[in-house]
Amino acid sequence: FYCWIHNQLELMMCLLCSLLHAENLLVLTVATKQTEGFRRFRRSAQFFNYKIQVLGLDEEWKGGDDKKPAGGGQKVRLLKSALKQHADKEDLIILFTESYDVLFASGPTELLKKFKQAKSKVVFSAENYIYPDRKLEAKYPPVRDGKRFLGSGGFIGYAPNLKKLVEEWKGKDDDSDQLFYTKIFLDPEKRVCVVKLFLCLDHRSRIFQNLNGALDEVVLKFENARVRARNLLYDTLPVIIHGNGPTKLQLNYLGNYIPQIWTFETGCTVCDEGLRSLTGIKALPMILIGIFIEQPTPFLSQFFLRLRNLHYPKQRIQIFIHNHVMDSFVNEHSKEYLAMKVIGPDDEMENAEARNLGMDLCRKDPDCDYYFSLDAEVVLKNTETLRILIEQNKSVIAPLVSRHEKLWSNFWGALSPDGYYARSEDYVDIVQRRRVGLWNVPYISSVYMVKGKVLRSELDEGDLFHGGKLDADMAFCHNVRNQGVFMYLTNRHQFGHILSLENYQTSHLHNDLWQIFSNPEDWREKYIHENYTAALKGKLVEMPCPDVYWFPIFTDTACDELVEEMEHYGKWSTGDNTDSRIQGGYENVPTIDIHMNQIGFEREWYKFLLDYIAPITEKLYPGYYTKVAFVVRYKPDEQPSLMPHHDASTFTINIALNRVGIDYEGGGCRFLRYNCSIRAPRKGWTLMHPGRLTHYHEGLPTTKGTRYIAVSFIDP
């Protein structure tokens, strides 16, 4: 508490100092459009209490483009015009800076102090590369320590001196501003004698930090409640950070930390369009959800169930689905939503075209407030996801999802020079949620939300998912970045995870059964009984007969799919000794059965036994391992019962796969030595009992229907 009070008092003193010094400082910048980069610049200036005047707002930009990167003369023209009203203010200090790719890292007090320490009338930023005319390199004066070349993205000086600096400008809007300033700097007479500029460069990045060619110099310095960018090479703390040239993405990374417009703990400070004040369904924004199933995907039934369970009124949701569709979802639930459009396999629409169509549906609908893109491999468990993302009030935002216990996620923290993945310094901390907040990132995929008004303005281009040889997701991010729209990722909440699709087999009737290795968490959710955890703690383990234990293990879905898989295979044994020998000779009394290895499920079943049966058996019968597993079928006209016998095991598990009284009548198990019978096995529950010597038992007759049990011999 004392430290908090101290920090608050220190912050107040800094603010008072800034207010006192800000009277003699004016920040001029050029911004013809209010891009996200400009808004970030303005927020950082407001955070540190800078007084800003924006030049050229809403004016057509004629200062050059990507085809002529050496332009910028329009900025000089606008500056020259603005300085006329300040020409006689000898005490006024003016900072001229870029805006789209600039951040303030400290306040006016520190800026003015460092400027006056430079003992010059005008101070320009400095950088490692000469631009735009390399022929002028020889004319630059040598530098003993620091960067040698002038950068025009930021400079500071007294108002009269800056007026003299630009008064000779007679160039065109698309001429090079940097070349103009460079020629003045390289002319000693103009620099010192004629106009008395006394112009110098900020060689050691005390005021300006240009990132181009200097990324290895800059690190983040964390101290108390602040973060500063520190230049390791010169041991300086720059006041202004400029992501010039190809370093804009690195500035986005630094902008996640400086200034602290938001904190790791609380995310955005103010959400202008939050939902908490809205009442009534009609007041809520309308959302179009685009669902993409681009390849065979496990656990689709759970995916659509989670979609239905999102806490958002279905009458404010439209659905667009591309490719493989679960007919049951569309047929049974389409009327619940505001609208539903399906593009199936017969439409032969490619991935990129389908994604363009989904966004276009929102773009062309003036009532569409948000577009939410969701790939089927995303396991979205947070039912409040839509509301959370809307409340962040960002143009494009993604919730963090990653593969279970892996670093694979739906975002990149940085890009390589060729535009592909590069790991940022904080990537692992963000994925593992050791750093929590709202993050400006260069790439997102799989699940994200886009504002409808952004699709109708900055992102009004109809084709966002094509870009040379890039994949659809990479092309989308590339095109969004090129339009100056920031993409954000939030990990302030737990949202879910991403399925692994690499080893998904499609040759079975119920392919999800084989996913216990690739997607264990989702396998457990679908197939393991909801009360298994209680059984593991000993709360639901019953003992209906001496040394016979009974506990829940499988869901109804697991039981049904295992039975259906066996019937689909269909090659049941005939119940003679020949079958027993073929299956390994473990059955003392042969049964009508199909072994797990016959359907290629032995490895998965063994994994199930190790993960779910072993933890319980270790408490009841410690020291044994599982060997054999099969599904037995009992029918009145086939094999209704099983004669008394000892199992060829130390102990046995016997899982009921269907329901007595509904699927069949009769059945059960009788332990002869104890004259104890279990006549109503519960579906999904397993009996665990000793095999050899003590628990001589028989299968009671099945009188009607078909009874299925899954049997495993432990330590045969």
Residue 388: how many CB atoms within 10 A of its CB? 18
Among 198, 232, 201, smallest CA distance to 215 is for: 232
Q: What angle do CA 446, 275, 277 make, to 5 degrees?
A: 175
Q: Is 188 exposed, middle or buried (0-12, 13-18, 19+ CB in 10 A)?
A: exposed
Q: What is the DSSP letter of 682?
A: P
Facing residues of 542 across strands?
550
Q: Omega into 259 within 30° of 0, i.e. cis? A: yes
Amino acid at 103: L
Query: Annotated catalytic, 230?
Result: no
d(CA 10, CA 68): 47
User: How many other β-carbons are positioned within 10 Å of the β-carbon of residue 662?
Assistant: 9
Q: Is the dihedral of CA 40, 46, 52, 58 positive or negative?
A: positive
Angle at CA 343, nearest 5°, toward 337 and 347? Answer: 160
CA distances from 254 to 182, 333, 369, 417, 422 (A): 28, 45, 30, 18, 16
Annotated active-site residue in 77, 306, 363, 707: 707
Q: Bin 119: left if φ > 0, else alpha if -120 < ψ < 50, else beta.
A: left
* Residue whose C-alpha is closest to residue 563's, from 519, 528, 594: 594
Alpha-carbon gap, residue 398 to 390, rounded angstroms: 11
List, in order, residues 6 or more apart from 167 with CB less than 8 Å away. Answer: 80
d(CA 76, CA 78): 5
Q: Which of 126, 129, 119, 180 shows the shortest CA–CA distance to 155?
A: 126
Closest CA to 133 of 186, 65, 209, 92: 186
Question: What phi and psi values does residue 519 have, to the nearest 5 degrees?
Answer: -135, 70
The whole-angstrom separation of Cα 115 and Cα 193 is 21
Contact 159, 86 (CB under 8 A): yes
DSSP 3-state of 393: coil
Strands 676-678 vs 669-671: parallel, antiparallel or unpaired: antiparallel
* In contact, 126 and 206? CB cutoff 8 Å: no
Catalytic residues: 707
